[in-house]
A and B are shown apart, each in its own frame.
Chain A
Amino acid sequence: DTGVSQNPRHKITKRGQNVTFRCDPISEHNRLYWYRQTLGQGPEFLTYFQNEAQLEKSRLLSDRFSAERPKGSFSTLEIQRTEQGDSAMYLCASSPPGLSPLHFGNGTRLTVT
């Protein structure tokens, strides 16, 4: 069990650029989640996958955000045309089936200048 791995750890980009983050879940976990967290707030749900199927996506999520999980393994989260309001910590987590606790990666901190 090597834990959930996220890359990169930090990303600084200019407004209007596209960014992509990667998450490698714990190998035996079939669920994968993306959250966004800003200072002083709890993690905000973005989307989750069960195997390769994206089962739910936050209604608050702009269509500039897209996530994929090809073959039910790693996942990518892409943000197009970044805005300063996208600056946050992006957390990935995975879990086994059922109502199990999530195991989080170290996060990717995005700064949009």
Chain B
Amino acid sequence: QKEVEQNSGPLSVPEGAIASLNCTYSDRGSQSFFWYRQYSGKSPELIMSIYSNGDKEDGRFTAQLNKASQYVSLLIRDSQPSDSATYLCAFYAGGTSYGKLTFGQGTILTVHP
């Protein structure tokens, strides 16, 4: 079983729609979850952090964490063409790998006008 899996892409949504990105992880000891955005040819940049179950909102972005079901999601409201990028989920593993941040393979999002 992979440590982390993101919903397969690419995901294409029209401008103004809601984009929904999902990530599941296998380690129940995982803590501190992050969503990064990566534009083509650039390095990842942090857009959201979430540490406890529930929702966290920041502008047009909402992160949702459900530790019992081992998934974390990212909703982007009022999607804009500038949101077109690869979205990476990441988390800190528990146990002996404390301190190691593991990334998913990424989901490519395209927002078309």
Query: Counting CB contacts under 8 A, is A43 at the interface?
Result: yes
Q: Chain B: how many interface residues by the 8 Å CB criterion? A: 22
**Majority-rule SS of B interface residues:** strand
Query: Counting CB contacts under 8 A, is B88 at the interface?
Result: yes
Q: Chain A: how many interface residues by the 8 Å CB criterion? A: 23
- State whether A50 touches B43 (Cβ < 8 A): no
- State whether B44 touches A99 (Cβ < 8 A): no
- State whether A48 touches B103 (Cβ < 8 A): no
- Please name all residues of chain B whose beta carbon is closer than 8 Å to the beta carbon of A107 when the two chains form the complex: 43
Query: Counting CB contacts under 8 A, is B17 at the interface?
Result: no
- State whether B43 touches A48 (Cβ < 8 A): no
Kindly name the residue among B103, B104, B105 whose own CB sees the greatest number of chain A CB atoms within 10 A. Answer: B103
Closest B residue to A35 by beta carbon equals B103
- State whether B92 touches A41 (Cβ < 8 A): no
- Please name all residues of chain B whose beta carbon is closer than 8 Å to the beta carbon of A91 when the two chains form the complex: 43-44
Query: Counting CB contacts under 8 A, is A56 at the interface?
Result: yes
Across the interface, A56 reaches (CB within 8 A) one of B88, B99, B105, namely B99
